[in-house]
Amino acid sequence: MNEAFTGTGIVKRYRKNPILTKADVPYPVETVHNAGVVRFENRYIMLFRSHLRNGRSIIGMAESQDGLNFSVRSQPFLVPAQKGFFAEYEEFGVEDPRINLVEGEFLITYSAYSRHGVRIGLARTRDFENVERIALITQPDCRNVVIFPEKFNGLYARLDRPHSQITPWSIWISYSPDLIHWGGSRILIKPAPYHWDEMKIGPGAPPLKTEKGWLNIFHGVFPTMDGAIYRLGVALHQLDDPARVIGVADEWILQPEDPWEVTGYVHNVVFTCGAVLEPDRMVRIYWGGADSVMCTGQASVDELVELCVNKPRPPL
Ligand code: BMA
């Protein structure tokens, strides 16, 4: 057991959480949360969301040698486009970036908010110095897009979460030949009635490849008289056909417990946009606490996979 991590649950929290707060950011922001994280050239790159004082969000970047101690770049990484096609759809902010490593390129999927709703923007970087917007890849309203690292039958695949008035918000899959045009959509996982995720679910970290399947770490929300509680759960998708769900774990893997998860900008939230599978078979999970700070912890990939296989609930 690594003494830097502690806890009785399946996810052990880093003892020195939170790992990043607004005090670490060299430009004015009110929050630091919901970050995507990847390993790149022997370091960890974090793209995190921050609220500005007008209530709209931008995306900053932090770097780390060990995935625990991060330093923030002096300038934000992605702010709402000021002109051109994207400006109309990013007017209210850019949020919740995922960094998807797909065939050697880093594809960033982020929520683009505007008076027309929320849709997903796709941007690309190879070096985290230059970033290029490619397309808006969903209509409104849709959030939480993560792209699988590999193609299936020649097609890219993504998990996403469209919104609907007549059913709880669920996890879907869709496919694309070019990352721009998507279709073949199918529902994969629905919230379970009177369950920790009964209100809504959505993809969290980009799927991690394991021997037994793609590990999908997602968020689930339960409504209470005191507001919603955001927790994390896991599901396993078949390696050669991610539309086949091998198992959705019945139990959550992480819930708000530390003071900075229970209290903050939005109470009772743990929300992930990124996780890294380490060579020692631990999954380092990164999550926003109460939409205010960034935290991390780790879990054994084998235990997470077992939870999906041995304690499943119906996906739909
Ligand atoms: C969701 C998103 C997340 C946020 C969560 C809790 O709808 O807006 O970015 O972390 O709510 O506020």
- Å from CA of 270 to ligand 1 middle: 9
The three-state DSSP-derived secondary structure of 103-169 is: CCEEEEEEEEEECCEEEEEEEEECCCCCCEEEEECCCCCEEEEEECCCCECCEEEEEEEECCCCCCE
Whose C-alpha lies nearest to ligand 1, atom 7?
143
**Contact of 60 with 73, CB cutoff 8 Å:** yes
Q: What is the pLDDT of residues 270-283, one digit of tens each?
A: 999 999 999 999 99
pLDDT at 203: 98
Contacts of 303 (CB under 8 A, 6+ apart): 10
Residues with CB under 6 A from ligand 1: 34, 95-96, 230, 266, 269, 271, 288, 291
Structural domains counted in the chain: 1
Residues in the chain: 316
Question: From ligand 1's centre to the CA of 187, what distance in Å?
Answer: 21
What's 102's domain CATH number?
Answer: 2.115.10.20
Residue of 58, 291, 292 best suited for mutating to test ligand 1, as the one with most atoms within 8 Å of CB? 291
Give residue 154 CA to ligand 1 midpoint distance, Å. 33
Does this model's pTM top 0.75?
yes
* 2 pLDDT more than 80: no
* Range of the structural domain that residue 155 is part of: 5-313
Name 306's Cβ contacts closer than 8 Å, sequence gap at least 6.
none
Closest CA to 218 of 259, 278, 170: 170
What tokens were used for 9?
């649950």
Cβ–Cβ contacts within 10 Å for residue 217, how many?
27
pLDDT tier, 227 (very low <50, low <70, confident <90, very high otherwise): very high
Using only C-alpha atoms, the chain has a radius of gyration, in whole angstroms, of 18
Span 181-196, average pLDDT = 97
Q: Which residue type occupies 247?
A: G
Residues above pLDDT 90, as percent of the chain:
98
**Termini Cα distance of the chain:** 36
Closest CA to 2 of 229, 265, 233, 296: 296
- CB-count exposure of residue 186 (10 Å: 0-12, 13-18, 19+): exposed
Atom index in ligand 1 nearest the CA of residue 266 equals 12
Given a contact cutoff of 8 angstroms between Cβ atoms, the answer to whether 111 and 92 are in contact is no
Cα of 292 vs centre of ligand 1, distance in Å, is: 11
Residue 1 has pLDDT above 60, yes or no: no
| 146: confidence class by pLDDT, cuts 50, 70, 90 | very high
